[in-house]
Amino acid sequence: MSNTILFREEYLSAFKSKDGQDFSNYRERILSELLRLYKPRLFPTQLEALRESFEVSFQELVNATPSDIEILERKFDDQAVLTLEEQRELVIKARFECAFQRLKENTRIIVNSYKVMTELYHKSRGRCCGSKCRHCPFNHENVGKNINLQDLIDNEKKNDDDENKK
């Protein structure tokens, strides 16, 4: 889905605008659209990870964008010898393209790397794990509490042993 939101030309147009507010609005619009699209699929902590990953990758893209963005539009002939300036511009262009693809890839990884645990799965655990799970049947009773990770692991093992005995 990030491919339907992040467009190179739109980014460059916003970056090119002389008004910094246009660029800021563009960044916020893209982030809001990503969060809106994925909010039904991701937990709050995952949405926060998506936001953070987007912010970092977006800043890397901004840092990789040359002030003279016309460099990105130049075509280089397949000539065997490039001038030093052409080589520099080619490197700048490649750096930008890599940063843009990394932004798209980081967004895709965050969105596709999480699994949703069903209410039935949570009931089999026996209690709230405190992770703000979307389908928590225990009304998030342990969210914000200090949960002993070893107790959760022991409880999981006990549930698995009980299931194996059946």
Write out the chain's pLDDT in tens, 166 residues: 556 677 888 888 888 886 778 888 888 888 888 788 777 777 788 778 778 888 888 899 889 988 888 888 877 766 667 788 888 888 898 899 998 888 888 777 665 655 556 666 667 667 787 777 767 888 888 887 766 655 655 666 666 666 566 6
Q: Which DSSP symbol is given to 65? A: S
- What is the C-alpha separation between 43 and 77, in angstroms, rounded? 49
Tokens 């902590």, residue located: 45
Report if pTM > 0.95: no
Tokens matching residue 82 = 């490039």
Tokens matching residue 49 = 């990870």
pLDDT value of residue 160? 61
Tokens matching residue 31 = 């982030």
Backbone angles phi, psi at 125, to 5 degrees: -75, -30
Tokens matching residue 26 = 């563009």
